[in-house]
Amino acid sequence: MKVVAIVQARMGSSRLPGKVLKKISGRSMLHRVVSRLRASHLTDDLIVATTTLAKDDAIVEECQDCGVPSYRGDENDVLDRYFRAAESTKADIVVRVTSDCPLIDPEITDKTIRAFLRGQPAYASNTLVRTYPRGLDTEVISRNALTRAWQEARRPYEREHVTPYIIEHPADFQLLSVTDAEDYSAHRWTVDTPEDLAFVRAIYSRHEDAMFSWRDVLKLLEAEPELADLNRSVVQKAMH
């Protein structure tokens, strides 16, 4: 069973254009995501799925600098992009991560993959019931489930966000929720605004080793709780 992590990335962003190439301690956000996912023990391959738009040539160039392959597809039909990227890598299992999560933790990613491999559902994630900080989001999807969603999903948000069709049809797809014993869901570690970027930059600036863990971030926030104020006012965008 080939497990492939697919990272979606594009330069367009309504609240923070070009965010995936913004620098965090000297490296792009995309580089940070790729580097962290490479530390996963359970993924066999990694690819970045971007668009065919000219402005996303910069994404492809950054992928080349990072030594990671890329696939280019439709800007808005991200589900199609994922399906075809999975085809191109001959993936049996797809791990979906977004490029605005520079604190993504391979420990949590592997925990989600391990739960999927053990339970063999159609879909497993740590977002069905949120206990982890937003920004550690990992979704694991069987190739069959991805294919069926690609064939049947019709609504624009189902195509744009990849997995809603699966999640919203639990009678057709077996879903598995991966949670922590503690609830850390109030933490916001994703990047969608300048305030989010300032928060993540502050976290990285306090670590000499860029591969610090999510628990290291929790300890830092206990020591410096004022850091959370940097993006506390940010409201998450609705999916629909």
Q: Look at residue 106 and give its three-state secondary structure.
A: helix
What pTM does this model have?
A: 0.96
| Among 81, 93, 101, 121, CA closest to 214 | 101
The H or E element containing residue 66 is helix 57-66
Is residue 71 within 8 A of residue 48, CB to CB? The reply is yes
Per the DSSP assignment, residues forming a β-bridge with 125 are: 139, 177
Worst-scoring range by mean pLDDT, 33-37, 75-79, 91-95, 236-240?
Answer: 236-240
- Tokens encoding 87: 């085809």
> How far is Cα 28 from Cα 34, in angstroms, rounded to an integer?
10
Angle at 161 between CA 202 and CA 145, to 5 degrees: 120
Q: Which fold has domain 3-186?
A: Spore Coat Polysaccharide Biosynthesis Protein SpsA; Chain A (3.90.550)
Is pLDDT above 80 for 239?
A: no
Residue type, 226: E
- Residue appearing with tokens 């998450």: 236
> How far is Cα 137 from Cα 197, in angstroms, rounded to an integer?
17
DSSP 8-state assignment for residue 159: H
The H or E element containing residue 7 is strand 3-8
When pLDDT is cut at 50, 70 and 90, the band that residue 238 belongs to is low
Worst-scoring range by mean pLDDT, 8-22, 69-83, 106-120, 194-208?
Answer: 8-22
Q: Give per-residue pLDDT as tens, 198-217.
A: 999 999 999 999 999 999 99
